Structure formats: structure tokens, C-alpha cells
Chains A and B, each alone.
Chain A
Amino acid sequence: MAKNVLLVDDSSTMRKIISRSLRQAGLDFGEIFEAGDGQEALDVLEKESVDIVLSDINMPNMNGIEFLREKASRDGIKDIPVFMISTETGDDIIGEAKSLGAVGALKKPFTPDKVNEVLGPLM
């Protein structure tokens, strides 16, 4: 069954590019939801049926690390997998994200082939 995806990025451009890359990668996904920061993402997760989250790290209001930490404390949504898509790919930051439950990370810039390679197994 096709999975519903939540894209979390403060850049509307990047949300469009990720959405386009998912299509170009030929991945089988259902509905795509969007959020502009971690707080908006939590609100979407509480209301909608989301199977996987693709999240930026460097965002206003609530960044990707704070989002992971808050999500992990909420029983109803804590097990939804989160994959980081960010310019922030330093070992320290990705290590912290993974310790808070992130299942992987993809560095911007990326190509549809790379999206297929790293996200295909999760979809």
C-alpha cells in the first residue's frame, strides 16, 4: 500500500523539489502533506494519517532536532519514521538526530536517483 508522506521544510521551493524528486524517482507514495517547521509537522501528525516524515533540520520556530525530541515524547506519533533531508550533515548533528529516532539522512543537494536509492527501501 502506498505510503503517505509528510514533507517538513521552511522552504516552499524545497518542498516542491522533494515532491518532484519523489515522483521522478518512481517511488510509490500516497498523499503528500507539507509543514513549514517542526511545530506545524507535529500538528499534521496528530491530525493526519502519515506513514513517513522527510524533514529538514535548520528551520525557524521548531527545528528538526527539536521536532524529533518532541515527537519522541508523544505516544500516538513517536513510532512514525523520520528521514532527515538537510544541508546539515555533520557527524555530530546527524548522530544526535539518529539518537532521537531519525532513520537516515540525505544531503542537499540531491538527485532523483539518490532519492530513489536512499528512500526506496523505506517506501
Chain B
Amino acid sequence: MREKFVNSFDEISDKLIESTIEIFVGMVMMDISVAGDPLTKLGPMKQSITGMVGLAGTHKGVLAVHFPKPLALAVTSSFLGMDVEEINEDVQDAIGEIANMLGGNLKTILSDKGKDIQLSLPSTISGDEYNFSSQAEAEQLIIPFKAPDGEFFVEVELEHA
């Protein structure tokens, strides 16, 4: 059973990479690429902002996207087509919306029906240093991406079925 779950994480990884690139190239207007193999653990976030959405229903967990602040500003500037110089409501909204779109795609990957998984509204956290802690029983997948202004991470945590 566990092996089946791990295999499904490989499928999630491939489709999530495709979705992330589609969002950045098609809507953020920024070229990105995968920066290496998936990770299973991240250290403390420093000078960063995290956007996240929760999943409930047949699959429970969270999708998060972690950006260092300078990259978050560049992403928001490119997304909105205007200069953004500090972490403000526009940045929080933009990063939250990226998490929301990725969460929607993850939901579609996990179920094509729609009503058996519910997505929370997106939220963000930011700070000089913080930990994004996982559920003890959750399986983690962390995909590193490279953008022109730095690296960011897309993280999925799913509880065992």
C-alpha cells in the first residue's frame, strides 16, 4: 500500500512540474525550470513568503509554494505588469493565487470529479525566519524550481489514505 502511495507521488511530481511551468510561462510571464531532484525536507525559510491551500475530503493535506522575498517581488511584478518593491497586499494576493492555481491543479491530478476534495481559500505567511512544519503522518514532496531571480519550492504534503 505504501509503495503504491509512493508511486502515485511520482505521478503527482511529474504533473505538478508541468502545471507549475504552465502557470509561470503562461500567466506570470516568467521562464522557469526544475532545479534538481525532488527533496523530502526543507530547512527554515529565511526572508521568505509562503502561499498555501489546504485539501480536505478523500485526500487531506496542503500545497505550499515558498519564495525568497526578492523572487516574490519579481514574480508579482511580472504577474501584475507593474513594479512592486516591498511585500504588500499585492504580493500576498499574487503568491496566494499561484498557490490557489497549483492547488486546483493538484486537486485535478488527484480526482477529476471535483466534489470529493475541497480546497481551502489561499493564505500566505512571511517573515525573517520560520519553519513550515509537516503533519507527522504526511508524505512530503518538495520540487525545487529555478527562476531568473532565484529558486523557489513547490511542496505537497498528503496524509496517508
Contacts and interface: CB of A to CB of B under 8 A. Distances in A.
Interface residues of A, number: 25
Contact of B93 (A13, A60, A94, A111): A13
Nearest to A17: B27
B7 interface: no
Contact of B112 (A16, A60, A91, A109): A91
A14 to B, nearest CB: 5
Interface string B94-130: 1011001101110110011111100101100000000
Interface string A101-112: 000000111110
Q: Which of B22, B97, B119, B121 has the most CB of A within 10 A?
A: B97
Given A89-B108, A89-B114, A13 B121 contact: no
Contacts of A94: 114
A9 to B, nearest CB: 9
B26 A110 contact: yes
Query: For chain B, what secondary structure do more than half of its interface residues adopt (helix, strand, loop), or is it mixed?
Result: helix
Contacts of B105: 87
B114 A13 contact: no
Contact of A108 (B89, B93, B104): B104
B81 interface: yes
B136 to A, nearest CB: 28
A111 B121 contact: no
B97 A90 contact: no
Given A11-B100, A13-B90, A14-B97, A90 B111 contact: yes
B30 interface: no
Contacts of A14: 97
13 contacts: A13-B79, A14-B97, A89-B104, A89-B108, A90-B111, A90-B113, A91-B114, A92-B113, A92-B114, A108-B100, A109-B27, A111-B26, A111-B27
B65 to A, nearest CB: 14
Contacts of A51: none
B6 interface: no
Contacts of A91: 112-114
A92 B26 CA distance: 26
A93 interface: yes
Contacts of A93: 114-115
B27 A58 contact: no
A72 B90 CA distance: 33
Given A59-B121, A91-B114, 10 more contacts: A11-B93, A11-B96, A88-B104, A90-B108, A90-B111, A90-B115, A108-B104, A109-B22, A109-B27, A110-B27
